[in-house]
């Protein structure tokens, strides 16, 4: 029998527009879940049903392009941070076999004249699909906005100023990733350890995942069991990344998760997934918060900036 684990469904509207009592309850619930399992599902996140449908349609359109078109948008010196990354590139940290996926990434669009603009490569424009560029930008902005509200609730839970993360994530190095877990005609010929996404933790502060086109996401419980995460089609799944775990000295959990292969007869079908990785600016200090360090919880991590940590992790997963 599977253990029941704490992955609550939360309504972000309770925090944004709720009474003081509702805001506190939302903050306590997300904090407790992030303390327990590192995962919640969230409704009323600001993405309409239509926008989600448009996003998946455009992501499918992009990955349906012939390889020679997609490869025009692969820029190796950007380490996958913008544009297209082909099959066989990324692997989970410590894994031998690459994940069974290809992906697209777009990043921050700085519009307020901030000099940080010079730190970020330009987003890649897909000439063949003008709507793809518009929809992904709109989704990026919507998820960035939802993520900022979630970070406010987390700040309150951590007894920090509600706006603790505001200046750290404004014009932050966040990434929207469209993933295609491609169909396999000969699944029986795969290496035994080949999976859609190997067991891993995310690098960033929090990840906001728009419901994938098929099941497969699983989290590793504290007693070592894999537990399937299911969300309503319109909800987003939100989880803690390693940067937030590091900052909070392991108070908030960056839980190991994976995307498993479906039964063999479904390996011939595509699965699409669109996570938004909310990152701070590169120069943000991830030194453990002093409020999260005590006699029972000694400081677990060395001091590092978000940019240094990202660089280290991109090397570990084979993108640099």
Contact assessment for residue 274 and residue 179, using Cβ atoms and an 8 Å cutoff: yes
pTM of the model: 0.95
The DSSP code for 121 is P
**pLDDT mean over 208-214:** 80
188 in helix, strand or coil? helix
- How far apart CA 39 and CA 31 sit, in angstroms, is 10
Q: Considering Cα of 248, then 314, then 147, then 262, what sign does the dihedral take?
A: negative
CA 314 to chain centre: 14
Pairwise CA distance, residues 50 & 198, whole Å: 31
Structure confidence at residue 115 as a pLDDT band (50, 70, 90)? very high
Q: Hey, what's the torsion of the CAs at 175, 162, 34, 55, to 10 degrees?
A: -30
Using only the alpha carbons of the chain, give its radius of gyration: 19
Per-residue model confidence as pLDDT tens digits over 283-317: 999 999 999 999 999 999 999 999 999 999 988 88
User: C-alpha distances in angstroms, 128 versus 6, 57, 61, 140, 216?
Assistant: 44, 14, 10, 20, 31
Q: If pLDDT is split at 50, 70 and 90, which confidence band does 3 have?
A: low
- In contact, 143 and 149? CB cutoff 8 Å: no
pLDDT at 254: 96
Bigger pLDDT: 268 vs 14: 14
Share of the chain above pLDDT 70, in %: 98
Helical pair 20-36 and 130-157, crossing angle rounded to 10 deg: 100
């Amino acid at each position: 029998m599977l253990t029941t684990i704490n992955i609550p469904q939360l309504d972000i509207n309770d925090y944004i527009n709720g009474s003081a009592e509702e805001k506190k309850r939302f903050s306590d619930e997300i904090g407790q879940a992030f303390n327990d399992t590192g995962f919640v599902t969230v409704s009323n996140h600001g993405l309409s049903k239509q926008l989600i449908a448009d996003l998946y349609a455009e992501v499918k359109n992009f990955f349906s392009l012939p390889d020679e078109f997609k490869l025009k948008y692969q820029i190796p010196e950007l380490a996958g941070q913008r544009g297209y990354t082909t099959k066989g590139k990324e692997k989970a940290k410590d894994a031998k076999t690459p994940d069974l996926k290809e992906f697209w990434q777009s990043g921050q669009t700085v519009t307020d004249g901030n000099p940080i603009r010079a730190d970020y490569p330009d987003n890649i424009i897909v000439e063949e699909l003008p709507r793809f560029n518009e929809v992904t930008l709109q989704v990026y902005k919507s998820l960035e906005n939802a993520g900022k509200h979630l970070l406010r609730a987390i700040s309150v839970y951590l007894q920090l100023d509600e706006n603790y993360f505001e200046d750290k994530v404004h014009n932050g190095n966040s990434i929207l990733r469209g993933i295609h877990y491609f169909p396999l005609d000969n699944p029986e010929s795969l290496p035994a350890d080949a999976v859609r996404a190997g067991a891993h933790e995310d690098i960033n502060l929090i990840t906001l995942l728009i419901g994938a086109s098929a099941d497969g996401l699983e989290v590793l419980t504290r007693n070592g069991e894999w537990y399937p995460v299911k969300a309503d089609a319109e909800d987003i799944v939100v989880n803690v990344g390693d940067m937030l775990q590091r900052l909070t000295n392991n108070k908030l959990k960056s839980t190991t998760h994976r995307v498993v292969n479906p039964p063999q007869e479904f390996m011939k079908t595509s699965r699409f997934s669109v996570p938004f990785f909310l990152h701070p600016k590169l120069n943000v200090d991830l030194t453990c918060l002093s409020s999260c360090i005590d006699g029972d919880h000694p400081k677990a991590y060395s001091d590092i900036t978000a940019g240094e940590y990202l660089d280290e992790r991109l090397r570990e997963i084979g993108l640099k």
